[in-house]
């Protein structure tokens, strides 16, 4: 679940690097993580010993959504010094 949160963070940071507004970057990060999770489950249809589950796609998307929500909403409330460090790292 939170592995897709890490994926969403990487997508979010990449989109911010392309000068996409934060809100759009956050939305696209979750959407792209969803599609990656769905494609992973589709691939499992053809893998022996594995089965595809919609539930897994839902949990993957929830993980991405929760992490992006926490970053998007709560990083802005951190002290300015912490925000400055995170900005240097590309999170805000």
Q: What is the pTM of this model?
A: 0.83
Which residue range forms the structural domain that includes residue 11?
2-89
Mean pLDDT by 10 residues, the chain (92 residues): 91 90 95 97 93 95 95 82 81 65
How far apart are the C-alpha atoms of 24 and 85, rounded to whole Å? Answer: 23
User: Which pLDDT score, from 0 to 100, does residue 29 have?
Assistant: 97
> How many domains, in total, are found in the chain?
1
Going from the C-alpha of 90 to that of each of 19, 37, 47, 86, the distances in angstroms are 12, 25, 37, 6
């Amino acid at each position: 679940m939170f592995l897709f949160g890490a994926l969403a963070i990487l997508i979010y940071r990449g989109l911010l690097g392309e000068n996409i507004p934060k809100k759009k970057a956050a939305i696209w990060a979750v959407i792209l993580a969803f599609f990656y999770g769905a494609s992973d489950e589709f691939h499992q249809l053809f893998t022996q010993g594995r089965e595809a589950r919609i539930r897994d796609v839902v949990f993957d998307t929830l993980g991405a959504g929760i992490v992006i929500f926490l970053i998007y909403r709560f990083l802005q409330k951190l002290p300015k010094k912490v925000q400055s460090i995170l900005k240097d790292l590309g999170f805000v």
